[in-house]
Structure 1
């Protein structure tokens, strides 16, 4: 995606309806300045997201005035104070936490650890001819390994484009999140031993051998309870803020933009 430069905003202004919060007009100039914070492929989408962000902020600022919060506070402080005063967010109970743990046990395990070696046959993502050539080379090398004609370590030293070739192809110990997703996803599902199929990534093709696999273990509830409590608290807070903004939008009135609150910037 590309950012829509503020200067480009001159073109689409008249294509969009005026945006109001109550009797307050959200100016075209303010929306144009806000565009840079909302990357999108289409100007219309960026314009809408920018206008929506300013509308939500204006709703909260008008409520800050209604609550007679000092204007000497900066905007972020006033918004935070509005939410503090107006929202009643219940804390997750012990039963809530246990129920979430029981329904999502797979999320609370220690990571699977793997010792992996590979041979990288490098090719740029957009060089189709080279990728086809390296795929053919990879299939030949796999054939050599399956028939025992040569050793993995030797092929890694002679063919791999990765610096790991100096360690006989060894990547050391890896776990989820340490390599690119298209390599990690298939590799983490492998059993110990040589994998007789090529794995493709943005870097080219990989011949992979799993030298060791240590399965992750289920973590006890008491160990992950603080994490669960935080997750549930954040979820409840997002829902409460969304509902609160819906009430403000009804009370003050919003024109010219669809708030689409579940995706709004203040929901993050």
Structure 2
């Protein structure tokens, strides 16, 4: 089975290649979908990707057909030079020796498509104050400085499984001394930890920056408390929370620039989709 888009053919092999390119991420996102339905949708999406790509290419060729040849040649030479020569250029584009003409054609198409999408994006207006405020109020929960803790720790990395028990016993002894006030945490970290910098101080961090098994312990601790010896994928730890910052809602002024960027990106995407829909409505697309 194949398709033509304004006379340009999409072979089934191209659809299969697009499917394999999309598959890793696609199957991760849609893992819960029945396999047969997932494969059908992946096929349809891959075909649509190729159709839309051809429509953009055809539109870009029409719009920029008067581009001076010398400007294209200069851009092509610069691209080849940045790739380390023609061999590197072909490798970068997934082409074989002898396909230099195809590489140049693909490059020119990409260059013109980029210019077309930039032209479409440039027509997008800056969001108004009203739009910014409406977005902020609708998604206020997203604009929060999350809870953070400041933690210092002592960690040991057993080099072999047989060392683990001995290291755990050593860590238990260290913890007892810390708990009884017989030792200073920072000094012990500098002397015994495999990560001794700054007395084991990790600074402030929110959830999501450390491994889950570390965060599960420290975010449940009270300030000043010393944890039991616990294990993560990195080794055995003793942790102490030295400070905590509760979650704080952001003000509009703090996130205004981020909202503007987000709204503009959404508007650019909608403008591009609208453009492609318009091209698709005019196109002759035939399945054969």
* TM-score above 0.5: yes
- SS of residue paired to 1:194: coil
Find the counterpart in structure 1 of residue 59 from structure 2. 63
- SS of residue paired to 1:193: coil
Q: Pairwise CA RMSD of aligned residues?
A: 4.7
Matching of residue 227 in structure 1 with residue 258 in structure 2: yes
168 and 28 in structure 1: CA distance in 2 versus 1, 3 angstrom threshold: same
For structure 1, the residue ranges without an aligned partner over 5 or more in a row are 1-16, 257-268
Deviation at 1:24?
1.0
Look at both structures and tell me which one has the larger radius of gyration over its CA atoms.
Answer: 2
1:21/1:59 contact within 8 Å kept? yes
- 2-side partners of 1:168 and 1:146: how far apart? 14
- 2-side partners of 1:123 and 1:51: how far apart? 51
Q: 1:160 aligns with which of 193, 196, 202?
A: 193
Matching of residue 204 in structure 1 with residue 235 in structure 2: yes
Find the counterpart in structure 1 of residue 101 from structure 2. none
**What is the TM-score normalised by the length of structure 1?**
0.60
Deviation at 1:231?
0.9
Paired residue total: 232
If each structure's helix is expressed as a fraction of its own residues, which one has the higher value? Answer: 2
What are the equivalent positions in structure 2 for 1:13-162 lying under 5 Å apart? 17-18=1-2, 20-26=4-10, 40=24, 53-65=49-61, 67-70=62-65, 72=67, 74-83=108-117, 89=124, 91-109=126-144, 114-122=149-157, 129=161, 133=165, 137=169, 140=172, 144=176, 148=180, 150-151=182-183, 152-153=185-186, 155-157=188-190, 159-162=192-195
1:138/1:205 contact within 8 Å kept? no
